[in-house]
């Protein structure tokens, strides 16, 4: 697997998409359709919503295909303490992020 990614630049947040990691769970599209719209090019509008909301949806990505870099403050996305991996009934591998210590 190569490490291909695409960066979508916004005023307050940049979104990085790793296409080869994506399992098409569509949590991003369902969570913020004004930001993530597969019918548009580019399909990610990093200025389509507040950075906090974009970050929250990205943190729910089950495959880790989406990442972000905040530009409106000094913090960056921090990995959660634990990540587990599950295989769903269709054989798709999903990572589950656990919050907390």
Locate the domains of the chain by residue range.
6-98
The dihedral built from the CA positions of residue 85, 87, 93 and 95, taken in this order, carries a sign that is negative
* Model confidence band, residue 92 (pLDDT cutoffs 50, 70, 90): confident
Return d(Cα 37, Cα 33) in angstroms, integer.
6
The answer to whether residue 95 scores a pLDDT higher than 90 is: no
Q: Looking at the predicted structure, is the pLDDT value of residue 25 above 80?
A: yes
Count of other CB atoms within 10 angstroms of residue 61: 22
Domain 6-98 has CATH 3.30.70.20: yes
Torsion on CA atoms 50, 62, 45, 39, rounded to nearest 10: -140
The phi, psi pair for 85, rounded to 5°, reads -120, 135
Reported pTM: 0.74
The set of residues, in sequence order, having a beta carbon less than 8 Å from that of 101 and lying 6+ positions away, is: 81
């Amino acid at each position: 697997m190569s490490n291909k990614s695409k960066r979508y630049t916004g005023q307050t947040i940049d979104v990085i998409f790793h296409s080869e990691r994506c399992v098409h769970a569509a949590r991003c599209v369902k969570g913020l359709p004004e930001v993530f719209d597969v019918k548009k090019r580019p399909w990610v509008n990093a200025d389509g919503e507040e950075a906090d909301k974009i970050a929250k949806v990205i943190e729910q990505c089950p495959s880790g295909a989406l990442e972000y870099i905040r530009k409106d403050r000094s913090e960056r996305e921090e990995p959660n303490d634990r990540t587990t991996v599950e295989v769903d009934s269709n054989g798709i591998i999903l990572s589950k992020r656990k919050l907390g210590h």
